[in-house]
Amino acid sequence: MSISTGIEFIAENVLPIIRSLVAKRLLESGYSQLRVAKVLGVTQPAVNRYVSKDYDELLGKVESLGINRGWLLRIVDNVVELIISGKEYEALEYLTNSVLMELGSLRLCSAHRRLVPSIPVNCNVCSVLITGISDSVIKNVERALSILEAHSEIQVVIPRVLMNIVEAKPGAVTEDEVVGVPGRIDAHDGRVIIGSRPTYGGSKHLGKLIIKCMGANSRYRSVASIKYDDKVERALKELNIRYVKVGPHESSNEDEVINAVTSSLVKDPTLEAVIDLGGYALEPVTYVFGLDSIDVVLKVIRIASKITYTEHTL
């Protein structure tokens, strides 16, 4: 029996890989090594060590440990995007929350056990990190909304029924364990308008949807509903966001929509968006999925920015 903790495993094996990948991406974006060192809170020689490792070596270690490669690369993408946008505190908060939620959800147990085989198979010590997770999920959604508020261009993707976004607790089984925004989200006249503070049960429809979709892809704990039109679909294609279309539906039954969207994810769990073509009394919408609400918000902003840029260059 070993007392090697999950926190040690993260600090010694996961965070160094993330730091290396973030450092390499920032350098590729034009940052100097000195600036990268300040952002990461390390010395310039440490940055030099980070970037001396090539991508294949870093990702090879990820795969050798059995850590989900897609999860880790998505975290890196979002951290880099937040840093480049001048949101360094948000990047720190996002990285901390993401890694601790992954650890607390016991998804890193097998990777830890590969290095320390004496850890019992039934060990669930790190699940203590889920204690108080309710506040963490609300805080994560609040942070996502604050990022969204700085991007008035999202008005081009607001549907007539308005936008919403939800994030579920890890392992959630009912919509009451899903945080949403009562009153939804609107944008006009250069302002993003948040209906009210996020709360559990804030969106019954998206809450039911994400609970069912977590059965198809347990890593997706968040979804947003934005409008559907040709511009949105074109942006999805240009951004290489994987999507499919479902519908139109013969009735306005909510369960029919949820089942159709969920079935799409069952067939292809790697989808990042599902376009629902609506039907009788149902507006067509695009459902954008992600690891958490910040991941989803960043995707929505990219979609809106792509549409806005295209319109301005025509």
In this predicted model, what pLDDT tens digit does every residue of 12-33 receive, in sequence order? 999 999 999 999 999 999 999 9
**Residue 64 above 80 pLDDT?**
yes
- Residue 74 token pair: 């998505």
Distance of CA 138 to the CA centre of its chain: 14
Q: How far apart are CA 150 and CA 301, in angstroms?
A: 10
Q: In sequence order, what are the residues at sequence separation of 6 or more whose Cβ sits closer than 8 angstroms to the Cβ of residue 198?
A: 138, 141, 142, 145, 179, 180, 181
pLDDT at 130: 64
Residue 1: CB atoms within 10 Å: 8
In this predicted model, what pLDDT tens digit does every residue of 137-150 receive, in sequence order? 998 999 999 999 99
In this prediction, residue 132 has a pLDDT band, given cuts at 50, 70 and 90, of low
Q: How far apart are CA 237 and CA 247, in angstroms?
A: 19
CB of 140 closer than 8 Å to CB of 289:
no
In this predicted model, what pLDDT tens digit does every residue of 247-299 receive, in sequence order? 898 887 888 999 999 999 999 999 999 999 988 888 999 999 999 999 999 99
In this predicted model, what pLDDT tens digit does every residue of 172-230 receive, in sequence order? 999 999 999 998 999 988 899 998 999 999 999 999 999 999 999 988 999 999 999 99
- CATH 3.10.20.310 assigned to domain 145-313? The reply is no
In this prediction, residue 122 has a pLDDT band, given cuts at 50, 70 and 90, of confident
Q: What 3-state DSSP class applies to 184?
A: coil
List, by residue range, all CATH 3.40.225.10 domains of the chain: 145-313
Q: How far apart are CA 228 and CA 48, in angstroms?
A: 45
The enclosing H or E element of 207 equals helix 204-214
